[in-house]
Structure 1
Amino acid sequence: MAQTPRPTHPPSIDEAWAFTAAHASATTFFFDFDGVLSPVTDDPDASQPAAAVLGTLERLAGVVQRVAIVSARPVSFLRSRFASLDHVDLYGLYGLEVWHDGKVVTNLAAEPWVPAMAELADRARAELPASTLVEYKRLSVALHYRTAPHEAPAVERWGHEQAEQLGLRIQAGRMVVELKPPVDQDKGMVITEGVRNAGCAWYFGDDMSDIKAFDALRAREAVDPSFFGVAVAVANPETGAEVSSAADLTLDSPDAVAAFLNEGLRSFGV
């Protein structure tokens, strides 16, 4: 492996890409979906990857060890958007589901909660304001108030009441409250495991849940001086300041992510 010195934080873009290219065979790229590879939409089902994303990820997967998407979306949704990509791993529902080598693996501790999540979704539709978009994800329920931000207090209060009564966990996000089973699994844990044997890793995120992934890169660097992790924030007016302050680099949109990757791929000679 090339002996390129590990950059200090925050690295310059040129330093980060030079180290990555020199360690390509031991490098993993991780991406959140909403807000990073796709613009955030009022209707979650309408979200699609930005135009340049699919081709860019395919090119990237051809030169590094691994490319993975780590999302709050179910694997079934991610598969519908990335079915054309043969060499990209998919982590759905914060890692409760994983698509790898052509099959879905579900966290066994979460599986028994499927009926409770379905019942919760039905009650949310009946009890919350009609403007609340209730997204049932089999192993979690997301309560979106993007189209009616004035309903945030009522939606958040209801969500926290249900979490306390049912023993669920709350994941706050961009204009959404998500209820999940009480199973230890988050994006930070996905990254901790995913970089165990890596020499370099990048994580692109835009929301509060992504900060745990950034922290996992820092923790890996702390125990392995040869490892280099790059945390990239995709800024937004809702959670952008806090996420950006935890990152090494900041981009402003999914289109900018694709352009940044395409520019960086020149370091690999492709």
Structure 2
Amino acid sequence: MAQTDGQTHPASADDAWAHTARHASRTTFFFDFDGVLSPITKKPGESQPVAAVPVVLERLATKVGRVAIVSARPVDFLRGRFPTLAHVDFYGLYGLEMLHEGEVVTKPAALEFVEAMRALDADARIALREPVEVEYKRLSVALHYRNCPERAAEVEQWARERAERDGLKIQGGRMVVELKPPVDQDKGMVITEAVQDAACGWYFGDDMSDIRAFDALRAREAVDPGFFGMAIAVANDETGEAVSSAADLTLASPEAVAKFVNDGINRF
């Protein structure tokens, strides 16, 4: 296990905040959006951040080196939910998109799949029908069965067959299966690159894709004993057990995330 200031990881939350305060200028905080900053909603387009979140994130960004949201949502969706944030970076679609100097930068290898995803969206709406929610994201299509869990096997089979036919990747999640371009990109890769020059990194997640981000923090610790990573899970009754078992600490809800971070900032 990695060592930080003579302490064995994982540290307590108090120790983690104390370490972060000592290395604030070289600390990065990463947050998933759905289930972490926003409650999960029956319709994906209705999700909004908890009321306290924008102020807390902006406040945090004045205290540490960097704050970023790393989400399966497109960057434009995140910008719409956080129109007032001036010092928070956005990674969309697992890192296929990034907001850079006011412009959305897309991984070039993914751009050739825009038309394929548009066709996939149209076909999914015909084949699956409501109450399955088909979410078009330009470079991916998410099939949500939260409103009809009894159709999970049907939706997942359709996704597997379509992925095999079109050479796409599948990402599972909380009552959702997502079809993505066959581009090597995930949240763990975002974190691996982003913490290369950091002394400390925090990641808050609630779903299976977030475990790769946790793993990236662990991998960084393994090669750099001076680096400290803190993996925070957000409880839920769908993927919560798997995510919590990979984390250092579990919080109860997005509201608890906002309070936890705000209380931590007060320690600086």
TM-score, normalized by length of structure 2?
0.98
**Identical counterparts, % of pairs:** 69
**Structure 1 residues 6 and 221, CA, compared in 2 at 3 Å: closer, same or farther?**
farther
| Corresponding residue for residue 197 of structure 1 | 197
- What is the 5 A alignment of 1:242-253? 242-253=242-253
* Matched length: 265
TM-superposition CA deviations, 1:203-254 (whole Å, max 9, x none): 0000000000000000000010100000000010000000000000100100
- CA deviations on 1:141-184 (whole Å, 9 max, x unpaired) are 00000000001000000000000110000000000000000000
Where do 1:1-270 residues align within 5 Å? 5=5, 7-268=7-268
What amino acid sits opposite 2:145 in the alignment? Y
CA contact (8 A) 1:36 1:257 kept: yes
Q: 2-side partners of 1:233 and 1:217: how far apart?
A: 14
Separation in structure 1 between the aligned mates of residue 228 and residue 101 of structure 2, nearest angstrom:
27
* 8 A contact 1:30–1:68 mirrored in 2: yes
Q: Which amino acid aligns with 2:10?
A: P
The superposition leaves residues 99-156 of structure 1 with CA deviations (integer Å, 9 ceiling, x where unpaired) of 0221110000000000000000100000114211000000000000000000100000
Per-residue CA distance 1:30-50 (angstroms, 9 max, x = gap): 000000000000111110000
C-alpha separation in 1, matches of 2:58 and 2:130: 40
CA distances 1:10-46 after superposition (whole Å, capped 9, x unpaired): 2111100000000000000000000000000011111
Q: For 2:208, what is the secondary structure of its paired residue? A: coil
Gaps of 5+ in 1: none
Q: Closer, same or farther in 2 for the Cα pair 1:263/1:164, shift >3 Å?
A: same
Shift of 1:267: 1.3
Distance in 2, matches of 1:18 and 1:124, equals 49
For structure 2, the residue ranges without an aligned partner over 5 or more in a row are none
- What SS class does the counterpart of residue 209 from structure 1 fall into? helix
Q: CA deviation at 1:9?
A: 2.4
Q: Which amino acid aligns with 2:260?
A: F
CA RMSD of aligned residues (A): 0.8
CA distance in 2, matches of 1:74, 1:217: 24
Question: CA–CA distance in 1 between the matches of 2:17 and 2:130?
Answer: 48
Letter of the 2:98 counterpart? V
**2: CA distance, partners of 1:184 / 1:267:** 39
How big is the shift at 1:6? 5.5
Aligned counterparts of 1:221 and 1:154: Cα–Cα separation in 2: 41
